[in-house]
């Protein structure tokens, strides 16, 4: 009640006193800090003349000031801090100003187009006589888009399921595979491919801020090998080295075999009696110049087919005389 603006225009030299009632019998204990209500100021001049005037004091309630972080956006998009949704729920009539620092000493030049991630501050001032200043943090996230890439080519077999995997750019991303053919799902990161044709997919990866990344992957079909070209290898169960021109040597019978790494024969004591890596070359039953007796002999082999198939086999064959 003692501020000069309340008694502005009064004569000079007045002595002011402050009261709770009009008859000035109940003084105000602390006129510098009063609550809402009607008070009385008594003015007395040097001659002893006095007058009493009422003063109505109104104390407004503290304004409600609410802020919310704006959603992230994808560069080069910007964030508008003046958007009413950021201060939704605040009292009406507040005047907002925007700042780069908590001390509100550096004004934000472009609050309606913030292009850099960071923490900013909004100051709200109430009108109607109340001064209300409060700084509130507003976090702005600007997301930069991620460049698209081409994945390594994936080789699949016709109508055999194989899982595909888009790269993981973090949480809150959505995925769209296009074209949506040959897949069990087209809107997940790791669909299952099952198809009989070559397909090149584009994968749209979208962040919650709207950034879009386009990746690409090519799915090719593995070449089917005709049955006539399929490889295999066999070793006879017996042979008779009697020089009659029939079945005189023991060797692998090959079908479309590209390489024989080794073919080895052992007697019953584990002694190596024959070895070759030449297709069509076999053992005639002679070891160190001596004909070997009729018996069961063990063989092992390793080979690779024209179709890439790998063989490692072992078995027994009988020498007949």
Residue 57 · residue 33 · CB < 8 Å: no
Give CA torsion, residues 26, 27, 30, 33, to 10 deg.
70
> Hey, how many other C-beta atoms are within 10 angstroms of the C-beta on 65?
20
Q: Which residue has the higher pLDDT, 140 or 174?
A: 174
Instruction: For domain 227-319, say whether CATH 2.60.40 is its number.
Output: yes
Q: How far apart are CA 117 and CA 121, in angstroms?
A: 13
Checking if the pLDDT of 266 tops 80, the result is yes
User: pTM for the full model?
Assistant: 0.45
Q: Which residue has the higher pLDDT, 139 or 280?
A: 280
> Hey, how many other C-beta atoms are within 10 angstroms of the C-beta on 103?
9
Q: Which residue has the higher pLDDT, 83 or 69?
A: 83
Q: How far apart are CA 125 and CA 132, in angstroms?
A: 5
- 5's enclosing H/E stretch is none
Q: Which SS3 state, helix, strand or coil, does residue 4 take? A: helix
Looking at residue 226, what is its pLDDT?
67
Looking at residue 171, what is its pLDDT?
86
- What is the DSSP secondary-structure string of 171-236? SSEEEEEES--SBS-SSSSS-EE--SS-EEEEEEEEETT--EEEEEEEEEEPPPPPGGG--EEE--
Q: Where are the domains of the chain?
A: 4-57, 73-143, 154-221, 227-319
Looking at residue 128, what is its pLDDT?
62
pLDDT band at 138 (very low <50, low <70, confident <90, very high): low
Q: Which SS3 state, helix, strand or coil, does residue 81 take? A: coil
Q: What are phi and psi of 112, to 5 degrees?
A: -90, 0
For the domain bounded by 154-221, which CATH number is listed? 2.60.40.10
Q: Which SS3 state, helix, strand or coil, does residue 85 take? A: helix
Q: How far apart are CA 232 and CA 254, in angstroms?
A: 6
CA 49 from centre of chain: 83
Q: How far apart are CA 125 and CA 122, in angstroms?
A: 10
Looking at residue 28, what is its pLDDT?
95
Checking if the pLDDT of 131 tops 60, the result is no
* Token pair listed for 300: 């092992």
Q: Choose among 144, 217, 209: nearest CA to 171.
A: 209
pLDDT tens-place string over residues 26-79: 999 999 999 999 999 999 999 999 999 999 998 777 778 888 888 888 878 888
Asked, colleague to colleague, whether 154-221 and 227-319 share their fold, the answer is yes
Looking at residue 71, what is its pLDDT?
83
Looking at residue 139, what is its pLDDT?
65
Residue 277 · residue 302 · CB < 8 Å: no
């Amino acid at each position: 009640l003692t501020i000069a603006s309340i008694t502005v225009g009064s004569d000079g030299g007045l002595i002011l006193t402050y009261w709770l009632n009009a008859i000035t019998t109940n003084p105000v204990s602390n006129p510098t800090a009063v609550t809402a209500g009607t008070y009385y100021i008594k003015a007395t001049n040097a001659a002893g003349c006095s007058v009493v005037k009422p003063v109505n004091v109104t104390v407004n309630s503290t304004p409600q000031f609410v802020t919310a972080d704006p959603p992230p956006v994808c560069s080069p998009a910007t964030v508008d801090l003046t958007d009413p949704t950021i201060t939704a729920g605040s009292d009406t009539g507040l005047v907002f100003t925007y700042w780069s620092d908590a001390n509100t000493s550096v004004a934000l030049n472009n609050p309606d187009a913030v292009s850099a991630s960071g923490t900013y501050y909004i100051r709200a001032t109430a009108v109607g006589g109340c001064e209300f200043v409060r700084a509130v943090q507003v976090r702005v996230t600007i997301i930069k888009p991620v460049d698209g890439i081409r994945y390594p080519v994936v080789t699949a077999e016709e109508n055999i399921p194989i899982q595909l995997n888009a790269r993981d750019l973090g949480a809150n991303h959505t995925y769209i595979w296009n074209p949506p053919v040959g897949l069990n799902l087209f809107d997940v990161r790791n669909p299952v491919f099952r198809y009989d044709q070559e397909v090149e997919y584009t994968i749209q990866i979208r962040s919650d801020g709207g950034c879009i990344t386009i990746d690409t992957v090519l799915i090719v079909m593995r070449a089917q090998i005709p049955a006539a070209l399929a490889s295999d290898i066999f070793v006879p169960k017996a042979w008779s080295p009697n020089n009659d021109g029939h079945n005189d040597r023991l060797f692998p019978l090959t079908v479309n075999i590209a390489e024989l790494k080794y073919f080895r024969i052992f007697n019953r004591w584990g002694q190596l009696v024959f070895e070759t890596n030449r297709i069509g070359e076999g053992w005639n039953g002679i070891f160190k110049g001596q004909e070997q007796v009729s018996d069961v002999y063990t063989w092992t082999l390793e080979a690779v087919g024209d179709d890439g198939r790998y063989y490692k086999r072992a078995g027994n064959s009988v020498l007949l005389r």
